[in-house]
């Protein structure tokens, strides 16, 4: 079940590839103590923490933005047939859920005009490509793929130095470069009046979030500037894959201050579905109200 988010002449469709209890909470948030976790367990379970396994429940999703002029995909999840030995639950996936999610949004792969990757982690670039006769080719044959310049440079450099450490760059980013489909932009890029990037660095070097719509009828696709509402209560709490956790904390405070008490909907990419909230200040942090 996918719930579309209407914003006047734009509609946002979540495209969900997976939802599950993937990670141990204390490993995922290295500075979180068992005591603080236990204090918060009652409001986190069962939606955000699975009581049976004690693991963090995450959604893996992208968003199709349908505007009067363009169909845009923001983030492309994990993808099929990709070797991810470090992550068994994402290894060699063979699922039709992403494609079905596109269909529920009323689009197929030929209808996507732009793919925008908030950052270049494994669960945000996978469907950039698909396997065809043993080769990785762009999944969306007509799309331009928009990425942040410094983010792109960071990851392609790592790929050069140690390709085995970033297989998703090899199979899901470089083939897009080879097909001449990449457009590199600054992370404050304004695609048009109704689709604008907001730099949200910290989780990765040049991460961006995407503000969609017009004031009064808008939504922010957060990407991975936050993974759990615990990081609203404790904005400085980093997660294990952060590039710069203190900077990620500053980013959360800045973004949540900006949108506190505003009508802007926050589409929290990794929160379990339905992942749409409004943000309010609460104590020294923030809390999120479901919409
Ligand atoms: Zn992610």
User: Could you give the CA distance from residue 148 to residue 208 in angstroms, rounded to a whole number?
Assistant: 8
Q: Which residue do the tokens 């005591």 mark?
A: 35
- End-to-end, the C-alpha distance of the chain in Å comes to 16
User: Could you give the CA distance from residue 198 to residue 184 in angstroms, rounded to a whole number?
Assistant: 15
Could you report the per-residue pLDDT of 185-227, keeping only the tens digit for each? 999 999 999 999 999 999 999 999 999 999 999 999 999 999 9
Q: How confident is the model at residue 43 (pLDDT cuts 50, 70, 90)?
A: very high
Distance 118 CA to ligand 1 centre (A): 9
Distance 121 CA to ligand 1 centre (A): 6
Distance 268 CA to ligand 1 centre (A): 11
Beta strand ranges found along the chain (DSSP E):
5-7, 10-24, 55-66, 71-74, 114-116, 129-132, 135-138, 144-148, 182-185, 190-192, 195-199, 208-214, 217-221, 265-267, 276-282, 285-290
Closest CA to 90 of 63, 124, 120: 124
**Residue-level pLDDT at 3:** 85
User: Could you give the CA distance from residue 259 to residue 32 in angstroms, rounded to a whole number?
Assistant: 26
Distance 280 CA to ligand 1 centre (A): 24
Distance 186 CA to ligand 1 centre (A): 20
The two tokens of residue 77 are 């999840």
Order of strands across the sheet that contains 195-199: 190-192, 195-199, 208-214, 217-221, 265-267, 276-282, 285-290
pTM assigned to the model? 0.97
Distance 46 CA to ligand 1 centre (A): 21
Start-end of H helices in 130-222: 149-161, 167-172, 174-178
Q: What is the mean pLDDT of residues 27-49?
A: 97
**Residue-level pLDDT at 281:** 97
Could you report the per-residue pLDDT of 77-123, keeping only the tens digit for each? 999 999 999 999 999 999 999 999 999 999 999 999 999 999 999 99
The single-letter DSSP state of residue 128 is G
Q: How confident is the model at residue 37 (pLDDT cuts 50, 70, 90)?
A: very high
Distance 175 CA to ligand 1 centre (A): 21
Query: Residue 1: is its pLDDT beyond 70?
Result: no
**Residue-level pLDDT at 2:** 57
- Which element (helix H / strand E) includes 37? helix 34-44
Mean per-residue pLDDT over the chain, rounded:
97
């Amino acid at each position: 079940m996918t719930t579309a988010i209407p914003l006047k002449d734009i509609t946002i469709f979540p495209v969900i590839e997976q939802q599950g209890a993937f990670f141990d909470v204390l490993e995922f948030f290295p500075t979180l103590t068992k005591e603080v976790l236990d204090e918060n367990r009652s409001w986190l379970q069962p939606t955000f923490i699975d009581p049976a396994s004690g693991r963090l429940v995450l959604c893996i999703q992208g968003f199709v933005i349908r505007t009067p002029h363009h169909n845009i995909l923001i983030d492309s999840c994990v993808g099929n047939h990709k070797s991810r030995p470090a992550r068994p639950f994402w290894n060699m996936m063979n699922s039709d859920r992403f494609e079905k999610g596109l269909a529920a949004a009323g689009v197929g792969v030929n209808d996507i005009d732009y793919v925008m990757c908030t950052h270049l982690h494994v669960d945000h670039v996978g469907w950039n490509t698909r396997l065809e006769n043993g080769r990785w080719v762009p999944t969306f044959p007509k799309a331009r793929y928009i990425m942040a310049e410094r983010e792109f440079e960071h990851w392609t450099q790592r790929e050069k130095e140690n390709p085995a450490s970033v297989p998703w760059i090899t199979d899901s980013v470089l083939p897009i470069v080879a097909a001449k489909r990449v457009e590199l932009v600054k992370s404050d890029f304004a695609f048009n009046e109704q689709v604008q990037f907001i730099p949200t660095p910290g989780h990765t070097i040049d991460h961006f979030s995407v503000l969609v719509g017009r004031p009064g009828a808008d939504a922010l696709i957060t990407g991975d500037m936050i993974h759990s509402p615990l990081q609203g209560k404790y904005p400085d709490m980093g997660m294990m894959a952060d590039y710069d956790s203190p900077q990620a904390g500053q980013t959360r405070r800045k973004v949540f201050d900006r949108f506190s008490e505003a009508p802007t909907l926050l589409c929290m990419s990794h929160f379990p579905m339905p992942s749409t909230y409004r943000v309010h200040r609460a104590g020294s942090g923030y809390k999120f109200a479901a919409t």
